[in-house]
Structure 1
Amino acid sequence: MRNQAGRYECKASNDVATPDVKYVNVVVNYPPTIKIAKSSETQVGRTGTLQCEVAAVPKPEFEWYRDDKRLSNAQGISIHVTGTTTVLTIANVTEEDYGNYTCVATNRLGIQNASVFLYRPGTGRNISGCACLSQSLWLVLTSIACLLIKC
């Protein structure tokens, strides 16, 4: 299991000689899993930053997409990778930049992707994603309960 990775000690001893100690590092490889996917609410003319953080061993390779087009460091777009985190920066955001972006993490054991969004301020969207679903689900459940007890 992942949590069993680490440094282990093997010690052999008898009554004849001093104990012999050897160390071994155990590496547990596993496919990428998205830990954090951060969207951004950014005004036109400002810098938008989208982030994707992954857990994976070995370290993943990253790619960013907008629709079906792979993005690269060009024309106001900057992609940085530090360890298991990648950041897509869009300088001088325009109306055309708003929308869905996809972060893809790959290693030899698998692939994982996540959608993040560059939002226009004032659209009323919650950029945390999960909270939107939770709030919507809460509203539906509250409505159903209200109908059942006729409030």
Structure 2
Amino acid sequence: KGFTSEEFLDIIGIMRNQAGRYECKASNDVATPDFKYVNVVVNYPPTIQKIQSSETPVGRVGMLQCDANAVPKPEFEWFKDDKSIKGEKGRVKIMLGTTTILVFSNVSEEDYGNYTCVASNRLGIQYASVFLFSDSPCVSQSLWLLVVCITLLFFNC
């Protein structure tokens, strides 16, 4: 039987930036050195890097964006008022790598509000709030507030 030897590289408290390709080299005075490569993957829970709200008038296309870093790649879900947004009419969820975009094909008054982007993988979960809002201070979800805005504009002139 031949002689074998094992060598280990312990990385205590490994960080995300230490992921990558590592080279192991074995050499002696008898033969040419031998090389093997090991790919080290560092898994970590999602961290939301960027969120983008949208100021969109009624009848236009609106987009909410959420970017998250994670290994393994995060899965995304969108919520409005604690209700999960599925493939509802006029709303489309697009996934581009570690980015999700919620697209409104024709924004209505009912679409305005606070949305929650949820990024998750087997190691954890993170939430972030984004807003779809009107570009006019006098567009509101209630007729009463609209009347107040018009009255204020009239008296300010």
TM-score (norm 2): 0.77
Q: Which residue of structure 1 aligns with residue 35 of structure 2? A: 21
Structure 2 letter corresponding to 1:45: G
Unaligned runs of 5+ in 1: 125-151
Deviations 1:92-143 (A, max 9, x none): 101111110000001000000100000100339xxxxxxxxxxxxxxxxxxx
Name the SS of the counterpart of 2:114 in structure 1: strand
1:1-151 mapped onto 2 (5 Å cutoff): 1-123=15-137
Measure how far apart 1:53 and its partner are.
Answer: 0.2
Structure 2 letter corresponding to 1:35: Q
Aligned residue pair count: 124
Deviations 1:65-111 (A, max 9, x none): 00111001221000011111100001110111111000000100000
RMSD of the TM alignment (CA)? 1.1
Question: Which entry has the higher C-alpha Rg, 1 or 2?
Answer: 2
Q: Distance in 1 between matches of 2:96 and 2:103?
A: 14
Unaligned runs of 5+ in 2: 1-14, 139-157
Structure 2 letter corresponding to 1:76: G
Measure how far apart 1:57 and its partner are.
Answer: 0.3
